[in-house]
Amino acid sequence: GEEVAQTPKHLVRGEGQKAKLYCAPIKGHSYVFWYQQVLKNEFKFLISFQNENVFDETGMPKERFSAKCLPNSPCSLEIQATKLEDSAVYFCASSQSGGNEQFFGPGTRLTVL
Amino acid sequence: AQSVAQPEDQVNVAEGNPLTVKCTYSVSGNPYLFWYVQYPNRGLQFLLKYITGDNLVKGSYGFEAEFNKSQTSFHLKKPSALVSDSALYFCAVRDIGMRFGAGTRLTVKP
């Protein structure tokens, strides 16, 4: 598609429940990025993919967060056993190459109660 | 590590006046610098980038930015502000992922 698509728009989970977010990058873009935006507007880089391979995961809290980008499927970000501090808006972005500008999706707002 | 800083949380200007949103950077090597804008409940929209070449970069919606190597700055500018420019603006530098500044809220008053 011409835009990055993210589903769902909103997700509410009880503490300890699993949350799974989806992202469809722009067609032809090889790179996918996940970011977390918390209340103070700060964007935290989580993970990036080059096609289906993890490119950099230095921002991921690995004990509970995982992500995949499989061929012919939307990319996904999964949080096992959500915590209150995971409440944030999660943005996916894609780019043609690693150095080019990134195009962002509309985000998924996760609320953990 | 690559980083950018936006020294102002808030910038207020009157419609029709020029606007500047400040950004300074700290990088090793040549910087790849970007400006994005975020409207309420929306994702980031790309405005412009500096990779190499002319220090004055022109972008979307009449915005431009000046790369200044000696001052390590990449300020966003527009000659005449519109009320519709009111939004949150982020400066960013390419690292592996993008490293964003804290954001500057621009308010343009009629």
Which of A2, A32, A41, A91 would best serve as a mutation to test chain B binding (most B beta carbons within 10 A)?
A: A41
With a pLDDT cut of 70, the percent of chain B lying above it is: 100
CB-CB neighbours of A104 under 10 Å: 24
Cα B62 from Cα B79, distance rounded (Å): 8
Find out whether A80 and A98 touch, Cβ atoms under 8 Å. no
pLDDT computed for residue B28 by the predictor: 85
Least CA distance to B97: which residue of chain A?
Answer: A45
pLDDT computed for residue A70 by the predictor: 92
pLDDT computed for residue B53 by the predictor: 83
Cα B84 from Cα B52, distance rounded (Å): 30
The distance from CA B17 to its chain's CA centroid, rounded to whole angstroms, is 17
pLDDT computed for residue A41 by the predictor: 79
Q: Tell me the pLDDT of chain A (113 aa) as tens digits.
A: 689 999 999 999 999 999 999 999 999 999 999 999 987 778 899 999 999 999 889 888 889 999 999 988 999 999 999 999 999 999 999 998 877 889 999 999 999 99
pLDDT computed for residue B42 by the predictor: 80
CA distances from A48 to A25, A82, A84 (A): 12, 21, 24
Residues of chain B short of pLDDT 70, as ranges, are none
pLDDT computed for residue A89 by the predictor: 94
Residue B96 at interface with chain A, using a CB cutoff of 8 Å:
yes
Which of B33, B93, B94, B105 would best serve as a mutation to test chain A binding (most A beta carbons within 10 A)?
A: B94
Least CA distance to B34: which residue of chain A?
Answer: A101
3-state secondary structure of A27: coil
pLDDT computed for residue A1 by the predictor: 62
